[in-house]
Structure 1
Amino acid sequence: MLSIRTRKWFAPEILKSFPCSFLRSSGISLAVIVTTFGLLSTSVRAEDNALNAEETRTLRNHLVATAQKEQVLDEAIRELMSQPATPESTALAQELELQKDRLEQEFESMATRLNLESTRPKGTGKPDWFKELEDLTLPILRSIREMTEKPRTIDALKYQTEVMEAQIPEYELAHKHLLELKQLESNTGGKAADGNYLQRLQDLLPKYDPEVLKLKIRKNRENIERLSSSDKSLIETVTDEIRNFFKNRGRNLIVTGFTFFGLWWILTRIRKWVVGTRLLSSLSPGFSKLFSAGYNLFAITFCLAAAMGCLFFFNDWLLISVLVMILLLGIWTSRQWIPKFLKEIKFILNLGTVREGERIIWQGIPWQVVDIGLFATLNNERLQGGEIKLQVSELIGLHSRPVFPGEPWFPTRPNDWVLLADGSYGRVENQTLEQVVLVLKGGSKKYFSTIDFLHQNPVNFSDGFRYCIEFRLEYSLQDKICNEIPALFAAGLRKKLHPRFEGSAPEFSRLSVTFDHADSSALNLAVIVHLDGRCAEFHEELKREIQGTLVQICNENGFVIPNERLTINLARGEDESSPLALREESPAPKNRV
């Protein structure tokens, strides 16, 4: 069955926009324009089976009417074009041309019973900036197109062949329908008024001839076979393209490269000379860095401009486009980290929260900021391998302060003897940013991460230390405990340990024996000995030596070291020697250091 869709071609807005005087001056009657825009446009869909005679005649009448509409529009357009050109007449002519194009498309669609909407050309709709970008990249695209011309041609021919092979059944059906319409005209006899309709049918017959399509397919296959037989290997193709590139543009590229790097070298030498002058060396480091940054920016801009000028001189638009694309790509990709880069610039110019020559805490360890450039250089003189370079971004969020004279950078040095909070006592063998190795007495080693080592609150004995020994005596010496007894013990210690008190740099630098306090069972002396850091290795041995010397002095003078006693009194009449008579003696408390 025949399905018919109709719509009206009428544009009242266009008619309202033109004054009546224009219509009269153009020589076109209002009735003709209204008739032109009021004509019906019909789109016909047919089913797979052949049309019967009545449906064919109905289709013919619609085609004849469409051809007449086209003829009316064509006459109206020619009449408008013969008149003096005005904005109104030009706009009306363009609108009529669009109407005529639609009618031609619908005539072809109804005659062939094919949906031609998908084959209609569509506008690209490219904005102006896209066209500018396309013009800029045209040399690059042209070079890529030349490199890939053969594979693209083969692929395009294969695609066209596949499309035409799929269209053969449709073209055969369309050609059959056109022949039916022409045969109908031959049987009934065409009228003179249908000349335009007959001419349109005659024009469509060769266009939808399947034999022409098959001929094109055979020609495409021959071209594909010819191009494929002359294919080179990938290595040969790449080698030829590289050879052609350097043959044609090698000189331009070399001269441009020499110009860029030569100017950069010269300007760098000038910067070093200017920065080394007495004028800039007397200024603040912050101003010197600001001058260097501005000079470097000027230098890179000048070098790029010179390189671009060389390419302009050689008229090498391909390399110019490549250079511009690289610059644009760099600017486009840098938009994300420009805020972060500006923060880093403040540090590089010595204007941030971390400044050169000051002290910061990084990873729990104090460091001195030596230099801030493309990288930040930190130094800790106490650590082995104590210089490290960081990215400037790692300084963001940190704060520095001026260095106090004589301020330590780490609690210990290699070969120092330390006592830790966990009771470990040993010599520092290695201390780096990552770990500290402690050699205990006997040669065993104990490993700490640097942060854990600092958390142990190390006590460094290598710079000097002292003993503070509490020594107990009985109450029978009460009348001598304040003067005679301390002097006696001091003289005895100096006598028995005299090698350690002699020399220009004695091991025991100071000795003090005084009465400290009295408790419930004894009188306590405070024996204080100051030792040089050289004795740190024998910290425990010297402690025992001093305590032994104190006991020897007691033995020589008959002094009794009291013990704490617990006495249990038995009931009357019981033998005091009974096992129930208990006496508990505890040793004197250990001397406290």
Structure 2
Amino acid sequence: MTPKSFIVQIFFLCLLFASLPSAQAVSEEKDTLQSAGPPSALQTLKDLRLSIEAIDKDILEKEESYAKALMEERKKAIRMEVSHLLRLKDAYQREFESIASGIEIEETAQAPLKAFRIEEELMEVLRPLVEGLKQMTSRPRELERLRKDITFYENHLPEIRYAISKVEGFMAKTEDEQLSLHLEELLMNWQEKEQEVIRQIRRLRFQLEQKTGPDESMLVTMQKGVTNFVKTRGRNLFLAFSAFITTFLLLRLAYWKWSQNQKKSPPPFYHRLLQVIFHSTTAFVSVSAALLLLYAFGDWMLLSIALLLLITLIWSARNGMAQFWEQGKLILNMGTLREGERVIYTGLPWKVQKLGLHGILINPSLEGGMLRIPLKHLVGMQSRPYEEDEPWFPSEKNDVLLLEDGSIAKILMQTPEQVVAELEGGARRTWAAVDFLGLSLCNLSRKKFGISVTMGLDYGYQAEITNKIPGLLEQYVRKHLDRENHNRYLQYLDVIFLETGPYALNLRVFAVFSPEAAEEYLNLQRKIRKLCMEASSHYGWCIPFPRLALHRPASD
């Protein structure tokens, strides 16, 4: 090729690419191709064969150029071009075989051995998950790729045809034979490009037509997706979950039967150690059964998801190892909280009945007095041994209490949350259980209770106040209590001289009653006071009253 002809060719190429076709021309070309209708499989095979032959022709030309090239850079560039053409030819050949046989031909290549890397191995484990997600979205992504490729070739075709028309115009005008030969060669190149682009458009449209197929409703698509999931991964997931539940329940049943034979209370240390080992083994074996089932089915996607969740769970639990250690000490009964001891929880006393995966606290004096507490909430609590006669609550149901204000109340209900009592006259009063525990109370229903009444007599009875009068008063009170049938509750009665007051000599009447008379506490108190007054009237004793003494100075 002479320098003159090369310059002429460059000049015409610049003219061709200086101007581009209008959008209207592009639209017209698209309409022309679309009006031709979707290509047939036979036409697509023919186009692929022509494309492969064109690539073979290009490879031969590149090999000839490689043999004539002198510069190493030029040879390297030709080798890269040949490598690209070979890959393109291989792709067209696989597509040709796929269309002709109806079977998707995948590209296979043997990769060289690589050095072991933990990151790559982990990615290899998670690869099925990524591949599964890619497979779920492969169809829409493939359709989008085909549409983009078709749009690219359809937009490029008008430019090629515009270039052909320009070259043909120059050929019609020129009379230079040498220039005409170069233009003819250039025209053949552009026409070959045009045919290649048309073949690519037909091929891509055929692929798009095959992948889209007849239109179907969204409901049908969803039904197909659900049916496919149920038949494959849904079945595998159900069986794996069933294996987990079955293994877990069987191991729990075996442990329950074994624990029924262990009747020692509290259980020995080895029993608690076996309990911890069993619970850990149960979780491990149950999870392993589910994973092995997924492995046997070859469902690598679900297996990868399960492993990923398991690794995430273990990784998130690493910060709670200290908490798990403390809980393990509680289960082994080696912590600060121990079975059979007394502990204060939410302000109330409780007995630690059992420590396992959860703690059981009981209070025998409360209705509904049993709590199941998660073991993590018991970490850090302290218990202590208790005495056998140590009360768990100030009262029991139906007990009668003497309140701080002097009134009495009968307990109707006491639970871990509240205490309800009935006051004199039938009114009800409610306390929070914690607040009730802090009250200063006197329980009249425990064993026995006493009533003390003070009576004052005039100083004129000073000679009899320590010997005769107490006996007469005691006899009178006992006689009348017996007459009104209160004597059956009376366990002890005593009248003694108490003290000398500013205006009277005071006697104390002290009576002790059995707890059956607790509800009559106020009536008995009033009754004893009344009997003291009646005894004074009966024996003619004078009850003093405060006197005002006036001292007048002596007159001069």
TM-score bracket relative to the smaller structure: 0.5 to 0.7
Q: Which amino acid aligns with 2:477?
A: L
Aligned to 2:270: 287
* Residue 476, structure 1, aligned to residue 460, structure 2: yes
Output the CA distance in 1 between the equivalents of 2:189 and 2:402: 111
Structure 2 counterparts to residues 84-483 of structure 1, below 5 A: 129=118, 131-140=120-129, 148=136, 152-158=138-144, 161=147, 165=151, 206=193, 222=209, 226=213, 228-229=215-216, 233-245=220-232, 254=239, 267-268=251-252, 271-272=255-256, 275=259, 281=264, 285-302=268-285, 304-305=287-288, 308=291, 317=300, 320-321=303-304, 323-463=306-446, 464-483=448-467
The offset of 1:495, in angstroms, is: 2.0
Output the CA distance in 2 between the equivalents of 1:183 and 1:209: 22
Write out per-residue CA displacement over residues 279-310 of structure 1, whole angstroms, 9 at most, x where no aligned residue. x9599534321221113323443455556556
Identify if the C-alpha distance between structure 1 residues 230 and 259 changes in structure 2 by more than 3 Å, giving closer, same or farther. Answer: closer
- Percent of aligned positions with the same letter in both sequences? 25
Aligned to 1:489: 473
Aligned to 1:545: 527
The offset of 1:379, in angstroms, is: 0.6
Q: Which amino acid aligns with 1:524?
A: N
The offset of 1:242, in angstroms, is: 4.1
Q: Which amino acid aligns with 1:240?
A: T
Say which structure, 1 or 2, has more relative contact order (CA 8 Å, 6+ apart). Answer: 2
Tell me if structure 1 keeps the 8 A contact 2:397–2:412.
yes
Output the CA distance in 2 between the equivalents of 1:214 and 1:547: 119
Q: Match for 2:500 among 507, 518, 523?
A: 518
Partner SS for 1:245: helix
The offset of 1:407, in angstroms, is: 0.5
The offset of 1:344, in angstroms, is: 2.2
Write out per-residue CA displacement over residues 253-283 of structure 1, whole angstroms, 9 at most, x where no aligned residue. 75x77766666566555545655667x9599
Write out per-residue CA displacement over residues 49-102 of structure 1, whole angstroms, 9 at most, x where no aligned residue. 949xxxxxxxxxxxxxxx99x9734456599xxxxxxxxxxxxxxxx979x99x
For normalisation by structure 1, the TM-score amounts to 0.62
Q: Which amino acid aligns with 1:135?
A: E
The offset of 1:561, in angstroms, is: 0.7
The offset of 1:411, in angstroms, is: 0.4
Identify if the C-alpha distance between structure 1 residues 97 and 183 changes in structure 2 by more than 3 Å, giving closer, same or farther. Answer: farther
Aligned to 1:556: 538
Tell me if structure 1 keeps the 8 A contact 2:491–2:512.
yes
The offset of 1:535, in angstroms, is: 1.4
The offset of 1:457, in angstroms, is: 2.3
The offset of 1:567, in angstroms, is: 5.6
Output the CA distance in 2 between the equivalents of 1:71 and 1:179: 37
For normalisation by structure 2, the TM-score amounts to 0.66
Tell me if structure 2 keeps the 8 A contact 1:517–1:524.
yes
Identify if the C-alpha distance between structure 1 residues 130 and 568 changes in structure 2 by more than 3 Å, giving closer, same or farther. Answer: same
The offset of 1:348, in angstroms, is: 2.2
Tell me if structure 1 keeps the 8 A contact 2:363–2:392.
yes
Write out per-residue CA displacement over residues 220-275 of structure 1, whole angstroms, 9 at most, x where no aligned residue. 7645753534866255224421452289x66x975x77766666566555545655
Tell me if structure 1 keeps the 8 A contact 2:407–2:424.
no
Tell me if structure 1 keeps the 8 A contact 2:233–2:299.
no
Q: CA RMSD in A?
A: 4.8
Tell me if structure 1 keeps the 8 A contact 2:160–2:193.
no
Output the CA distance in 2 between the equivalents of 1:507 and 1:166: 111
Tell me if structure 2 keeps the 8 A contact 1:369–1:378.
yes
Alignment length (residue pairs): 452
Tell me if structure 2 keeps the 8 A contact 1:369–1:377.
yes
Aligned to 2:515: 533
Identify if the C-alpha distance between structure 1 residues 73 and 539 changes in structure 2 by more than 3 Å, giving closer, same or farther. Answer: farther
* Residue 508, structure 1, aligned to residue 490, structure 2: yes
Tell me if structure 1 keeps the 8 A contact 2:150–2:205.
no
The offset of 1:431, in angstroms, is: 0.7
The offset of 1:556, in angstroms, is: 1.4
Structure 2: which 5+ residue stretches go unaligned?
Answer: 1-13, 20-64, 85-115
Identify if the C-alpha distance between structure 1 residues 214 and 304 changes in structure 2 by more than 3 Å, giving closer, same or farther. Answer: closer
Tell me if structure 2 keeps the 8 A contact 1:370–1:378.
yes
Partner SS for 2:508: strand
Output the CA distance in 1 between the equivalents of 2:307 and 2:403: 64
Output the CA distance in 1 between the equivalents of 2:291 and 2:529: 87
- More displaced stretch, 292-301 vs 511-520: 292-301
Partner SS for 2:333: coil
Q: Which amino acid aligns with 1:497?
A: L
The offset of 1:518, in angstroms, is: 1.0
The offset of 1:545, in angstroms, is: 0.5
Structure 1: which 5+ residue stretches go unaligned?
Answer: 1-45, 52-66, 80-95, 102-126, 573-593
Tell me if structure 2 keeps the 8 A contact 1:285–1:350.
no
Q: Which amino acid aligns with 1:370?
A: Q
The offset of 1:421, in angstroms, is: 2.9
Output the CA distance in 2 between the equivalents of 1:437 and 1:327: 50
